[in-house]
C-alpha cells in the first residue's frame, strides 16, 4: 500500500471516528511544551469548552502511551472530557519515564507545579474549563496524583489515583479538604494493598494507612464508611460525613495491577456527583 493511500485511509477513519485521536500543538502532532516538560492531549469532536481528565502514566510509561489506551480514553472523550497526559521525567535507570515524588530523596522537578502548569496551559490553549479537571494516574502515576492531592488539593477539582498511593514514610498530615477516589485491585502484587519493600529506604506504603490519612484530612467523622455498595466489579466504600468540600471513596476490585474495566465510567459518575 502506498503512503498516499495510507494517508487517505487514515483521514477517512478519522472522519468516521466519534472522538478525536489526538490534538496537535503545532504543525506536527508533537507534544505540547511548557517550561518544565511536555504533555499530550486528546479532545472530543464536539465544540467546547470541555472539562478534562489529567492522567499520569505509570513507571516507564509516557503521556503518548496513555493516549494509546483507547479503551479508557475513548470513553472519557465520549463523555465530553478532554484527556491530558503529561510526560514524566526520563528515567536514569532504564527506558521510559517516571515521576519524582520520593519523600526520601531530593526532587529534581517540582512535579505538582509542573502538572498544574500543564493543566493551565491546556486550558488556555484548547479552551478547557480549568476548574472542572480531575487529576488521576495509574501505579506510580497514582502515587504522584496522591502526593499532588496532599500538597495542593485546590489545584484540581478532585483526584482519582489508581493502584498507587503514598510511599513510606507516609505524610504525617495533608492539606485539605479534598475529594478523592482511590481504586485498587485486591489481587495487586505489584503495588499490594499492604505495601512492600523494594530496597533500602524504598518501600510502598499501606493503602489502608493512606485512607486513614485522607479521613483525617477530610475531617470524616466516622471510621466506618457512610455507605458500602457493590457495583459491577467494584465494592465501594464511601465517606461523605466530612468537612465541606471533602469526601473519600475507596473502590476495590478483584483484579491485579491494572486500570480495571469500567473505571472511566466509575470515575466520571463519581466526579459529576459531588454528594
Architecture in CATH of 19-271: 3-Layer(aba) Sandwich (3.40)
Distance CA 153, CA 270 (A): 17
| H helical segments located in 129-187 | 140-151
Q: What is the tens place of the pLDDT at every residue in 110-142?
A: 999 999 999 999 999 999 999 999 999 999 999
Exposure string of 191-219, with b = 16+ CB inside 10 Å and e = fewer, is bbbebeeeeeeeebbbbeebbebbbebbe
Domain ranges in the chain?
Answer: 19-271
Tell me the pLDDT band of 103, cut-offs 50, 70 and 90: low
pLDDT of 24 above 70: no
The label of the residue with cell 500500500 reads: 1
Distance CA 86, CA 99 (A): 10
Please, which residues bridge with residue 199 across strands? 202
Distance CA 120, CA 22 (A): 18
Highest mean pLDDT out of 1-15, 18-32, 85-99, 191-205: 191-205
Q: What is the tens place of the pLDDT at every residue in 163-210?
A: 999 999 999 999 999 999 999 999 999 999 999 999 888 899 999 999
- Give residues with Cβ within 8 angstroms of 109, minimum separation 6: 36, 37, 89, 100
Least confident among 11-20, 86-95, 217-226, 229-238: 11-20
**68 cis-preceded (ω within 30 degrees of 0):** no
Amino acid at each position: 500500500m502506498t503512503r498516499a493511500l495510507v494517508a487517505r485511509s487514515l483521514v477517512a477513519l478519522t472522519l468516521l471516528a466519534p472522538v478525536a485521536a489526538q490534538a496537535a500543538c503545532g504543525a506536527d502532532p508533537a507534544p505540547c511544551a511548557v517550561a518544565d516538560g511536555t504533555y499530550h492531549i486528546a479532545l472530543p469532536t464536539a465544540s467546547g469548552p470541555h472539562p478534562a481528565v489529567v492522567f499520569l502514566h505509570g513507571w516507564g510509561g509516557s503521556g503518548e502511551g496513555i493516549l494509546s489506551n483507547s479503551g479508557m480514553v475513548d470513553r472519557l472523550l465520549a463523555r465530553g472530557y478532554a484527556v491530558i497526559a503529561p510526560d514524566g521525567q526520563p528515567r536514569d535507570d532504564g527506558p521510559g519515564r517516571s515521576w519524582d515524588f520520593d519523600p526520601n530523596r531530593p526532587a529534581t522537578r517540582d512535579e505538582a507545579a509542573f502538572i498544574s502548569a500543564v493543566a493551565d496551559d491546556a486550558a488556555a490553549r484548547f479552551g478547557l474549563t480549568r476548574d472542572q479537571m480531575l487529576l488521576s494516574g495509574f501505579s506510580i502515576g497514582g502515587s504522584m496524583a496522591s502526593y499532588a492531592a496532599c500538597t495542593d488539593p485546590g489545584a484540581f477539582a478532585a483526584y482519582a489515583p489508581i493502584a498507587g498511593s503514598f510511599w513510606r514514610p507516609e505524610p504525617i498530615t495533608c492539606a485539605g479538604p479534598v475529594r478523592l477516589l482511590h481504586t485498587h485491585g485486591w489481587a495487586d502484587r505489584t503495588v499490594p494493598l499492604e505495601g512492600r519493600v523494594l530496597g533500602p529506604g524504598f518501600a510502598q506504603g499501606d493503602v489502608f494507612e493512606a485512607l486513614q490519612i485522607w479521613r483525617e484530612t477530610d475531617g470524616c467523622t466516622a471510621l466506618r464508611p457512610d455507605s458500602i455498595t457493590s457495583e459491577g466489579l467494584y465494592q465501594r466504600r464511601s465517606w461523605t460525613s466530612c468537612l465541606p468540600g471533602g469526601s473519600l471513596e475507596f473502590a476495590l476490585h478483584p483484579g491485579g495491577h491494572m486500570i480495571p474495566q469500567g473505571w472511566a465510567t466509575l470515575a466520571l459518575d463519581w466526579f459529576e456527583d459531588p454528594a
